[in-house]
Homo-oligomer: A and B are copies of this chain.
Amino acid sequence: MTTPGRRPGDSGTRAAILAAAKEAFAASGYAATSVRAVARAAAVDPSLVLHFFGSKDGLFEAALELPMDPAVLVQGLLATPRDGLGETLVRTFLGVWDATPGQGPMLAMLRGAVSHEDSADKLRELLLRVILRPVAVGAGAGDPDRRAALLASQLLGLAVVRYVLRVEPLASAPVEELAPLLGPTLQRYLTGPVP
């Protein structure tokens, strides 16, 4: 490569778009950030943003730098037998947290979401719209928004108690011990009656 600067396909272009996206999502939140605005900030055509990231969702997920791909995670959950979804969700959620030493990026997202409105938007979009709502839709019991919000309430509370407040015995309990404790709650929120 002899020509310096950005060109379609350059990893430099992808990095520039990603940097612009991180800044835009952080400054304006998910809802108010458009592919067009990110493209403008990165000085590229919007079609290039879609070329690299597929969609605004893909861009958003890349900007989060998660330790896993949420789409793969959701796919895995949807492949689980319906009556085992609750426990599997506990295992998957804690698996992602426990996989990161010190829970760095996850803890940062949670702390940020509780402190700042912008980061709240980020966590809400990722956990609710990208992960839990599709799982609730897949579970097929109806009312996915309410079910996703209920699931989030138990999962986020578990993260707060285990990783932030470090309340024993939940802080030190292995996942194998927590799955049967919390699984029935998530199972009811997914497939039980929600009056």
Contacts and interface: CB of A to CB of B under 8 A. Distances in A.
A23 to B, nearest CB: 22
Contacts of A31: none
A123 interface: yes
A145 B160 contact: no
Nearest to A180: B195
A149 B171 CA distance: 9
A153 B160 contact: yes
A181 B192 CA distance: 10
A149 B120 contact: no
Contacts of A161: 149, 152-153, 156
A154 interface: yes
Closest A-B pairs by Cβ, 4 of them:
A157-B157, A153-B157, A114-B114, A153-B161
Interface of A: 110-111, 113-115, 120, 123-124, 128, 145-146, 149-150, 152-158, 160-162, 164-170, 180-182, 184-185, 188, 194-195
